[in-house]
Structure 1
Amino acid sequence: MEAAKFGKKWLPFCRENNVTERCPDAYFGSNYDQTVKTREIKMMYENMKMKVENVVERGKINDEYISSEEDRQVLSQYWAEDFSRQNHPSVIKVLLNSNNDVDSSGGAMPNLIYVSRQKSNTTQHHFKAGALNALLRVSAIMTNSPLILTLDCDMYSNDPLTAQRVLCYLPDKSGRPNCGYVQFPQRYHGLNKADVYACEHKRLFLANPIGMDGLNGPSYVGTGCFFRRRVFFGGPSLYSQPETAELSPDHIVDKPINSKEILSLAHHVAGCNYENQSNWGSKIGFRYGSLVEDYYTGYRLQCEGWQSVFCHPSRPAFLGDVPISLSDVLNQNKRWSVGLLEVGFSKYSPSTFGIRAMGILMGQAYAHYAFWAIWSFPITIYAFLPSLALLQGLPIFPKVHEPTFLLYTFLFIGAYVQDCLDFILTQGTFLRWWSDQRMWLMRSLSSFVFGSIEYAIKCLGVPTHGFNVTSKVMDDELSKRYDQGVLNLEFHHLCLFH
């Protein structure tokens, strides 16, 4: 609600001053022009930020923060005593209506609708994919726009022309008649000089998608992706009809978004029991069955016949935060490892089902991700075997005077040189490549190992930790050490059990 009020001042300011950094925090953290108007806008932003942080810290909304009777009714309805994060009704509130709301210059504001799906302590919830499916249904009821953008909560738009750029590809203008989504690389701001935790993931977000773009297109990485709504309802030639006509991608919404009928139906489709005995998560919408729902959803869409496009403009379209502690980095990679193995050893394995559906090259491209954690076994052996052999006096490498030593040297140096070149050619640096090599070994001997163990335990029916959200809260002391390039080794454990 506070952001909607601030937006009425912020958007005209951006247009008048040609501001491309549409995130106010990023803009005011840069070398901006110190004018009277800029200082006024900054003060408004700081006041808004202070209000929100105070409410979160106190856990309640005081009367001085309520500016109208409408705000009071909304907050009293949804912020009741029995309202908690895991037990609350559907929350859908139209904050801005493009037909009625205007900014400070008289221009129309875009629709802005707050949505939180119903939660119940007695109901099992799918995490990110379930939330996205609820949003997919609510947006179908209220606007049914043909294009959908998914973006992580820590990311912001870095280029206001991104949406126009996407229209060059969608729909059917990319030379790929079945193009279903456009994926932008995941880029970050605030990385330290050495990127000590190797969070850029150059191969995952840049090098590999460029190669896959030469085939059927890149995988979906969970953020910075524009979809055609139609892709969530079956393959290009196989349409899966949703339960109600209002959820169909061809449905035309002819009622105001704040009408009683629309809001009632929107609350209904956001209910926690709505998906029971339905095709949501299996044949319709974002797919369930893996902790890495983004990878799994993109994979299943391409198996159904959809293609994708990789768009990598010189100016990053979106920027986000990175985890700044070793504990968060390793736990994030452990979660990815478990989710990828869930796909790799399922009936939809890229090595079998994927190759049949997409061909051997695309199938192997997805299999390369799915069996990521398996690297832990050869790397663990390589970490211990030479040391043990040295202690026992057993030679396992060729000696300098043997002919095979030249071959061994060529393969060893050649592999590292090629990997370094691939990294640097994707706008990397040697220092960050070295950090990447260091973190690769850390992940392989910790995250991948624990991820493989957790997956094996899950297969045996033992309850595990499940989905854990990566923390990107910017603790001041932690941030200071990260900016200095100091590894934060004060992590406690990689959780396996409840």
Structure 2
Amino acid sequence: MEPLPLHLCKPYKLSSILNRLYSLIHVTALTSLIYYRVSSLASTPLASLPAQLLVFALELLLSLLWLLNQAYLWNPVSRRVFPERLPENEQNLPAIDVFICTADPKKEPPLEVMNTVLSAMALDYPSKKLHVYLSDDAGSALTLLALRQACAFASSWLPFCRRFGIKTRCPKVYFSNLNDDHCFTRSVEYEKERVNIKRKYELFKEHIRIAEEEKSSATDKINPSIVEVIIDKSDDEVRANQVEMPLLVYVSREKRPPHPHHFKAGALNCLLRVSSILSNSPYILVLDCDMYCNDPTSAKQAMCFHLDPKLSPSLAFVQFPQKFHNISSNDIYDSQLRTIFQVRWPSMDGIQGPMLSGTFFYMKREVLYGKFSQKGLHHLKESFGPSNELIISLQRSNQRKTIDNGTLSSTLQQEAQFLASDNYEKNTLWGKQIGYLYKSLIEDYFTGFILHCKEWESVFCNPSRSAFLGSATSSLNDTLVQGTRCNCGLLEVTFSKCSPPLYGLSRMPFLQTMCYSYYALQPFYSLPLWCLASVPQLCLINGISLYPKVSSPWFVIFSSIFLCSLLKHLVDVLVTGGSVQTWCNEQRIWMIKSLTCYTYGTIDAILKCFGMKQPCFSPTNKVSDDEQAKLHQLGKFNFQIPTKFLAPLVSLSHFEYDCFYWRNY
């Protein structure tokens, strides 16, 4: 008798049929539009020919982007997992290394980072199989001190969570009104312990607050490499009560300008190397510093896929959706990313799997090493660098080093710091063919694309209880800055030799190539939006006709394409639990992004191609701003943004008004 499956995959057949029917109708309309444009060129007056050709070219570009977008609707599926069917002996579960990255204590408050660390340490997984690494690119003494304090608090927090089966294991959320654990009736003993643990948490917060006042959060441009195993040395509670704690390691890699450090991808590769000689777990969980574990069973949910004997050999990573705890009822900035995680990723899951999404994924370590780990010693050192310990780790899995009283041996300490040095990657394949790739500011998109090109698969796991929750951008400025960076990164890949429309065509399924190509070309939405918001208006003022008259049968084609696109978007929003207001918000923010961050992302990518601009990465501000948060919750825009973002919006609005006034008066 075959064992029960660890997971099930269910296709959305009705949704797939309706989406394909819509695509067929829309393609027919687009074909008619193209026929009209081509057939009318011969009778077009010479004076209006340039405008006609420009508009036709832009309509072709929009048609191409629309066509690529249809791949996301072709074969949507949903998955269900059964963690209770995993091996009864939890010690047989594979080990997991958790990577958490922070870069600036001014923008990423240490208390928020520590809450993420504590939630990861408290995952419902064997402690000896769990190892948590914090990468501090700022090399901040404040962050290191906060991590030590977090470790001390964890010696009380972890037993409390395990003993009472707490679901919300991020302390900040647990002690807030957002916690759903309060819905259950608890014993007197629980209430007593809760009061005690809350007192300790308040003391923990106070220690960090005092440290923030005493220690400077300023960061140096030159950081030495620091690797420290964190253990609570303040008391003997861990040893006396035999509290099992995951391995907790602080890593600050060496940074010396002008040597490139490759931002988050460089930090992840550093953690990949250091962890390989300390724990070397076969699986990796990556978290952003402001995104905590909301469901402690997420690791076991991911293992339902990774331990499936049929799926595991080809499975690279399990991607969970990005969800946020601070989304307002009127999400004016589309911070929930509804289209990506409720429409596109489920459909990609029915092809080869969703794209790597930066955070909330459980990845198999070996996929980042590729076939290089199977070569001879000479080739290994050329590829992975000169570290003997790292080379040895490639041939074994999860041999956790013995650490006495939280202290590494001098040899292991030196080796770990060597792996975190700024020149270790020199003349190696790190960031080129090994680890997280460096060619783009968005290492997740590029790394995931290459993995799929190597025939690895991924799955999308979207359980009813959010596995992770993060902090969404709550200001227009942060939204546009983040969007500019992402679109610049997309075009960096598009302009490279690994351009998805060309490189992926022969290396992955055609529909998967279409999905990657859509994002690769997404920044070019700025071109038709800018031109179609200005050229037809100028032509109207000058008496140049670009479109058929309302009385013409061809006008039905143009109007139906426009209305059907809007209607399809509205249906998608309503089906995924949104409202008409959500639809309006998404339409508005898409136009704002097209005029600003799509435009500036394109310009930045072109300048970088010609060496006229250096790569830069500035973390979005995670420090809470009460006034800004209030505006966000009220659904009001905060237009306190840089002139470069405000100018296009104001200029185009003024231009539209002037054209309307000129034509009518």
TM-score between the two structures when normalised by the length of structure 1: 0.88
* CA displacement at 1:426 relative to structure 2: 3.0
Structure 1 residues 152-209: Cα deviation after superposition (integer angstroms, max 9, x where no partner): 1110001011101111111454636311111111111111111111112222233211
Instruction: Find the partner of 1:273 among 406, 415, 423.
Output: 423
Could you list the runs of 4 or more consecutive aligned residues of structure 1 that deviate by over 6 angstroms after TM superposition? 236-240
Structure 1 residues 300-351: Cα deviation after superposition (integer angstroms, max 9, x where no partner): 1111221111111111110000111111110110001111001011100111
**Which residue pairs with 1:88 in the alignment?**
223
**Which residue pairs with 1:413 in the alignment?**
563
Which one is further off, 297-306 or 32-41?
A: 32-41
CA–CA separation in structure 1 for the residues paired with 2:315 and 2:276: 21
Q: Residues 171 and 262 (structure 1 numbering): CA distance in 2 closer, same or farther, change over 3 Å?
A: farther
Contact 1:12–1:104 (CA under 8 A) maintained in structure 2? no
**Which residue pairs with 2:171 in the alignment?**
24
Which one is further off, 40-49 or 484-493?
A: 40-49
**Which residue pairs with 1:72 in the alignment?**
none
Describe the SS at the equivalent of 2:299. Answer: helix
CA–CA separation in structure 1 for the residues paired with 2:160 and 2:249: 22
Q: Residues 125 and 54 (structure 1 numbering): CA distance in 2 closer, same or farther, change over 3 Å?
A: same
Structure 2 residue 403 is the aligned partner of structure 1 residue 253: no
Structure 2 residue 175 is the aligned partner of structure 1 residue 175: no
Alignment length, in residue pairs?
472
Q: Residues 237 and 276 (structure 1 numbering): CA distance in 2 closer, same or farther, change over 3 Å?
A: closer
| Structure in which a larger fraction of residues adopt helix | 2
Alignment of 1:76-475 (within 5 A): 84-96=219-231, 102=238, 106-173=242-309, 175=311, 177-234=313-370, 241=380, 242-243=384-385, 244=388, 245-248=391-394, 250-251=396-397, 253=399, 255-257=401-403, 258-260=407-409, 261-464=411-614, 466-475=616-625
Contact 1:229–1:249 (CA under 8 A) maintained in structure 2? no
TM-score between the two structures when normalised by the length of structure 2: 0.67
CA–CA separation in structure 1 for the residues paired with 2:512 and 2:211: 49
Q: Residues 9 and 335 (structure 1 numbering): CA distance in 2 closer, same or farther, change over 3 Å?
A: same
Contact 2:608–2:615 (CA under 8 A) maintained in structure 1? no
Describe the SS at the equivalent of 2:251. Answer: strand
Q: Residues 173 and 269 (structure 1 numbering): CA distance in 2 closer, same or farther, change over 3 Å?
A: same
Letter in 2 for 1:248: L
CA–CA separation in structure 2 for the residues paired with 1:249 and 1:299: 26
**Which residue pairs with 2:152 in the alignment?**
5
Q: Residues 249 and 469 (structure 1 numbering): CA distance in 2 closer, same or farther, change over 3 Å?
A: farther
Instruction: Find the partner of 2:195 among 36, 39, 63.
Output: 39
Contact 2:351–2:509 (CA under 8 A) maintained in structure 1? no
Structure 1 residues 95-151: Cα deviation after superposition (integer angstroms, max 9, x where no partner): 149xx9838864311111111111223422110000000000111010101110011
Contact 1:93–1:114 (CA under 8 A) maintained in structure 2? yes
Letter in 2 for 1:134: C
Gaps (5+ residues) in structure 2?
1-147, 646-665
Contact 1:454–1:464 (CA under 8 A) maintained in structure 2? no
* CA displacement at 1:251 relative to structure 2: 4.8
Contact 1:184–1:317 (CA under 8 A) maintained in structure 2? yes
CA–CA separation in structure 2 for the residues paired with 1:465 and 1:343: 14
Q: CA RMSD in A?
A: 2.5
* CA displacement at 1:252 relative to structure 2: 5.3
**Which residue pairs with 1:70 in the alignment?**
none
Letter in 2 for 1:276: K
Contact 1:133–1:285 (CA under 8 A) maintained in structure 2? yes
Q: Residues 101 and 364 (structure 1 numbering): CA distance in 2 closer, same or farther, change over 3 Å?
A: farther
Q: What is the aligned-residue identity percentage?
A: 38
Which one is further off, 354-363 or 131-140?
A: 354-363
CA–CA separation in structure 2 for the residues paired with 1:452 and 1:477: 32
Q: Residues 221 and 252 (structure 1 numbering): CA distance in 2 closer, same or farther, change over 3 Å?
A: closer
* CA displacement at 1:417 relative to structure 2: 1.4
Describe the SS at the equivalent of 2:228. Answer: strand
Describe the SS at the equivalent of 1:450. Answer: helix
Q: Residues 106 and 253 (structure 1 numbering): CA distance in 2 closer, same or farther, change over 3 Å?
A: closer
Contact 2:536–2:546 (CA under 8 A) maintained in structure 1? yes
Contact 1:236–1:304 (CA under 8 A) maintained in structure 2? no
Describe the SS at the equivalent of 1:148. Answer: strand
Letter in 1 for 2:426: N
Which one is further off, 180-189 or 473-482?
A: 473-482
Structure 1 residues 421-444: Cα deviation after superposition (integer angstroms, max 9, x where no partner): 223333433322221111000000
* CA displacement at 1:299 relative to structure 2: 0.8
Letter in 1 for 2:227: I
Letter in 1 for 2:205: K
Letter in 2 for 1:321: S
Contact 1:256–1:262 (CA under 8 A) maintained in structure 2? no
| Structure number with bigger Rg | 2
